[in-house]
């Protein structure tokens, strides 16, 4: 344990979506493997207070922490790389900063002073950064600053961390800037974008201690020397983040470049990374690249945005590694299925992820029916469990107009509905179940076989439930509710007998999957899909 928390600030330049989150997670992985208690924080410059209402098309999935905070998808990467559970303090959105400042002003906390971005907003940002360090008891807090240098909305965050550089003791702050080194049509790598990006950072009073050249290939020594010369950084502190076969290889690549040695020298600490287990898992991943593929159809309405289901795809890959198979997971447009386009019989397993709203729902229900009737392994997550209940009610329990009242409030058979105690709540946000909750598992079921326990704790993000009035009718038709809220008639897991694998969870198991240990529901699903693939 260090005497005082040290901070690593990761900024980005030229383009967004270059992999700052993966780089930040890799830094924390390297540090933790060497015995340093490292944690990670993401600061998003948006005026939202959390990620709950952000469009998945633009921002990817909404990740949910166990303490019930809807946050940026990078927090999911933080958990997967460090094998820890994140808390709400690890994602700060600027809307909450400005809200806090305004609330303090209304209460008179500023004693009549003129409220300004500097020092009031910057002080709030610094307070939240230090709070994250304290809450996570971090020796080193890696702080990823969203967006790119030059974005107007990010300037106030950069100003706050610039101030921290002078407020913290010597060797307590390190600035690492990651920016694009593109390959142009001639095949030449160009350093001008990273040069301009560093110039923009310098204009904000921040001198980067290290540079990360993000490129498709390894940046040669001569170009790293050029970057160092024009960017005021020593050559040994210029590193490369090339495109790799697996994103999990990046910690190994950075150690190979001796980034950890420069980092230890800069921060005045001593540690030796031990990534042997991690390397073995990534090697196992690479060996599967030539193995026969298990084809999984992920039926979603965000069919052009894989990031909208990032944790789902990662959980499938984790399970594939541990089952010794290569996962070929494809996004399938549920609206196309509604229109009769495409085919489902080429898949070894079908998965319907979480979601909200009515768009594309009938296509998802069609896919679920196909899986049920054709004995194709099926995994339904959150909305995927609700829609599986609806499909079963319609076609097995003969409740023909069964649906969810979320999409149709005037149903004859609302098999998915708000519970009575939810219906009179004025603030609909208060009806959401967010974060970790216990689930009681029935012995002798598939759920118990998968989890090996009669009680599990899983993360939720939903509002509607299986209508208690229909539970007996569904069970009489053959549905098995194998998981429920403890001591309550609220169903959390649906499965079917006489099916190789038909499993729906009201919770989001994908958030708990790790490279080292796949989540049990995904592991069982992939094992069943592997068996089906073997019979083809």
Which domains does the chain carry? 6-282 (3.40.50.300), 291-534 (3.40.50.880)
- Cβ proximity of 473 and 397 under 8 Å: yes
Pairwise CA distance, residues 273 & 7, whole Å: 19
Predicted pLDDT of residue 210? 98
Q: Which residues of the chain have pLDDT under 70?
A: 1-2, 302-305, 424-431, 536
* Residue in the structure block whose two tokens are 């495409």: 342
Instruction: State how far the Cα of 213 lies from the Cα of 224, in Å rounded to an integer.
Output: 8
User: What is the pLDDT at residue 290?
Assistant: 82
pLDDT of residue 424: 66
Q: At what angle do helices 20-33 and 259-267 cross, to 10 degrees?
A: 70
Catalytic residues: 382, 508, 510
Contact in structure between 72 and 42 (CB atoms under 8 Å): yes
- 367-383 pLDDT, tens per residue? 999 999 999 999 999 99
pLDDT at 510: 98
d(CA 18, CA 254): 16
C-beta separation of 350 from 296 below 8 A: yes
Is omega for the bond preceding 77 within 30 degrees of 0, making it cis? no
Q: What is the mean pLDDT of the chain?
A: 93
* Half-sphere exposure at residue 82, Cβ-oriented, CA atoms within 13 angstroms: 30
Pure H helices in 258-309: 259-267, 276-287
Beta strands 38-44 and 433-441 are unpaired
**CA separation for the pair 195, 11 (Å, rounded):** 14
SS3 of 472, please? helix
Exposed (0-12), middle (13-18) or buried (19+): which is 375, by Cβ within 10 Å? middle
**SS3 of 148, please?**
coil
pLDDT at 304: 63
Residue range 260-319, pLDDT digits in tens = 999 999 999 999 999 999 999 999 988 888 888 999 999 987 666 678 899 999 999 999
Q: Of 302, 328, 253, which is closest to residue 530 (Cα–Cα)? A: 328
CA atoms of 52 and 337, how far apart (whole Å):
28
Residue 492 is predicted with a pLDDT of: 97
Per-residue model confidence (pLDDT) at position 427:
52
What confidence score (pLDDT) does residue 394 get? 95
The structure tokens listed for 447 are 């759920």
* Ramachandran angles phi, psi of 433, nearest 5°: -100, 115
Distinct helix (H) and strand (E) counts, the chain: 18, 21
């Amino acid at each position: 344990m260090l005497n005082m928390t040290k901070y690593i600030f990761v900024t980005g330049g030229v383009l967004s979506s270059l992999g700052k989150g993966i780089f930040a997670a890799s830094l924390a992985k390297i540090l933790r493997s060497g015995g340093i208690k490292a944690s990670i924080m993401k600061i998003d410059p948006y005026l939202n207070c959390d990620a709950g209402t952000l469009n998945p098309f633009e921002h990817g999935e909404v990740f949910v922490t166990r303490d019930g905070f809807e946050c940026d998808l990078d927090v999911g990467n933080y958990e997967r790389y460090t094998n820890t559970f994140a808390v709400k303090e690890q994602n700060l959105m600027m809307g909450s900063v400005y809200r806090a400042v305004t609330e303090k002003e209304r209460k008179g906390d500023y004693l009549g002073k003129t409220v300004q971005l500097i020092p009031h907003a910057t002080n709030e940002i610094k307070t939240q950064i230090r709070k994250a360090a304290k809450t996570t008891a971090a020796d080193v807090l890696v702080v990823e600053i969203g967006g790119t240098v030059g974005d107007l909305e990010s300037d106030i965050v950069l100003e706050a961390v610039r101030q921290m550089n002078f407020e913290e003791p010597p060797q307590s702050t390190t600035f690492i800037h990651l920016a694009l080194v593109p390959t142009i049509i001639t095949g030449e790598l160009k350093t001008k974008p990273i040069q301009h990006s560093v110039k923009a950072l310098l204009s904000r009073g921040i001198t980067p201690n290290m540079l990360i050249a993000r490129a498709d290939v390894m940046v040669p020594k001569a170009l790293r020397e050029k970057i160092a010369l024009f960017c005021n950084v020593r050559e040994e502190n210029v590193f490369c983040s090339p495109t790799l076969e697996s994103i999990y290889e990046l910690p190994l690549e950075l150690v190979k470049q001796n980034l950890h040695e420069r980092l230890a020298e800069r921060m005045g600490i001593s540690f030796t990374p031990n990534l042997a287990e991690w390397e073995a898992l990534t090697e196992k991943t690479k060996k599967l690249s030539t193995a026969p593929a298990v084809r999984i159809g992920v039926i979603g309405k965000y069919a052009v945005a894989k990031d909208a289901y990032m944790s789902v795809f990662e959980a499938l890959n984790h399970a594939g590694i541990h089952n010794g198979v290569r996962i070929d997971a494809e996004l399938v447009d549920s609206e196309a299925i509604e229109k009769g386009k495409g085919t489902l019989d080429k898949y070894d397993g079908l998965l319907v992820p979480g979601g909200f709203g009515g768009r594309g729902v009938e296509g998802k229900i069609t896919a679920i029916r196909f899986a049920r009737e054709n004995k194709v392994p099926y995994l339904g997550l959150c909305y995927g469990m609700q829609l599986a209940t609806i499909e079963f009610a319609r076609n097995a329990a003969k409740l023909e107009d069964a649906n969810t009242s979320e999409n149709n409030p005037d149903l004859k058979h609302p098999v998915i509905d708000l519970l009575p105690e939810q219906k009179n709540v004025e603030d609909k946000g208060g009806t959401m179940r967010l974060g970790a909750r216990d689930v009681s598992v029935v012995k002798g079921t598939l759920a118990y076989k998968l989890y090996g326990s009669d009680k599990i704790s899983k993360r939720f993000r939903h509002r509607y439930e299986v209508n208690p009035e229909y539970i007996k009718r569904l069970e009489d038709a053959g549905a098995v509710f194998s998981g429920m809220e403890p001591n309550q008639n609220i169903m959390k897991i649906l499965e079917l007998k006489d099916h190789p694998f038909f499993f729906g969870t009201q919770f989001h198991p994908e958030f708990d999957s790790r490279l080292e240990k796949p989540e049990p529901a995904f592991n069982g699903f992939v094992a069943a899909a592997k068996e089906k693939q073997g019979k083809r």
